[in-house]
């Protein structure tokens, strides 16, 4: 799946609205006359994104029920409101995919349903999304923005510690001595 964020036409904000906007934007929305990078920067936040969004690798931005921008997600950050009483929102941190990238080419211009909710999910093209394997080296396939299968990051760290230092305690002692933060004498 890919996260889809629905955009409206460009809307300029008053000085008062800019001051209340956690991202201090003077405008947001979509226009075909603005660069893709600028569309991303003005619209990467602020959204109510649930836990499900954390697992996505790609985000699309749509206008008039058509994908107009494709971004590879690095992570999602929380944007707190400076004025009280509002629930924190989130923003995407990532990179605009360039022309020629297979995921961009598969998603760009694609029609999307005109749901009222501005945050939806669309199928991503499984045939162009490169399969990725768990970074621990087990060969298992990972999905979304994950690098490891659940628990495999810890397994990989412990295997490497054991291989190099013999035990977790030996690693901690080496690290504390090397880092100069020996906590064993406390």
Per-residue confidence (pLDDT) for residue 114, from 0 to 100: 84
Residues 64 and 142 in one domain: no
Residues 122 and 144 in one domain: no
Residues 28 and 118 in one domain: yes
Per-residue confidence (pLDDT) for residue 48, from 0 to 100: 92
Residues 6+ apart with CB under 8 A from 31: 9, 10, 39
Residues 57 and 122 in one domain: yes
Residues 63 and 33 in one domain: yes
Range of the domain at 116: 2-128
Residues 136 and 54 in one domain: no
Residues 106 and 76 in one domain: yes
How is residue 119 written in tokens? 């945050």
Long-range contacts of 6-11 (CB under 8 A, 24+ apart): 6/61, 6/62, 6/63, 6/112, 6/115, 6/117, 6/118, 6/119, 6/120, 7/39, 7/43, 7/61, 7/62, 7/63, 7/68, 8/63, 9/63, 10/34
Regarding pTM above 0.75, the answer is: no
Q: Report the C-alpha gap between 76 and 54 in whole angstroms.
A: 7
Per-residue confidence (pLDDT) for residue 3, from 0 to 100: 94
Number of domains in the chain: 2
Residues 153 and 109 in one domain: no
Per-residue confidence (pLDDT) for residue 115, from 0 to 100: 87
* Collapsed DSSP state (helix, strand, coil) of residue 171: helix
Evaluate whether 77 touches 28 at the Cβ level (below 8 Å).
Answer: no
Per-residue confidence (pLDDT) for residue 74, from 0 to 100: 93
Residues 88 and 163 in one domain: no
Residues 88 and 159 in one domain: no
Residue ending a domain, choose from 128, 151, 175? 128
Evaluate whether 59 touches 35 at the Cβ level (below 8 Å).
Answer: no
Residues 87 and 155 in one domain: no
| Per-10-residue mean pLDDT, the chain, length 186 | 95 94 94 97 94 90 97 93 79 97 93 91 72 86 77 90 91 88 61
Residues 124 and 138 in one domain: no
Evaluate whether 92 touches 73 at the Cβ level (below 8 Å).
Answer: yes
């Amino acid at each position: 799946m890919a996260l889809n964020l629905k955009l409206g036409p460009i809307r300029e904000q008053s000085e008062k609205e800019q001051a209340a906007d956690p991202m201090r934007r003077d405008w947001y929305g979509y226009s075909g006359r603005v660069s893709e990078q600028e569309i991303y920067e003005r619209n990467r936040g602020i959204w109510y994104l649930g836990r499900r969004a954390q697992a996505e690798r790609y985000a699309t931005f749509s206008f008039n029920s058509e994908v107009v921008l494709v971004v590879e997600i690095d992570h999602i950050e929380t944007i707190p409101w400076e004025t009280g009483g509002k629930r924190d929102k989130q923003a995407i941190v990532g990179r605009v995919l360039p022309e020629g990238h297979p995921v961009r080419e598969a998603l760009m211009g694609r029609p999307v349903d005109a749901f009222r909710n501005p945050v939806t999910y669309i199928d991503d093209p499984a045939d162009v999304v490169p399969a990725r394997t768990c970074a621990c080296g087990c060969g298992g396939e990972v999905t979304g923005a994950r690098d490891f299968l659940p628990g495999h990051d810890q397994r990989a760290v412990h295997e490497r510690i054991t291989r190099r230092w013999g035990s977790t305690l030996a690693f901690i002692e080496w690290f504390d001595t090397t880092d100069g933060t020996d906590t064993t004498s406390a």
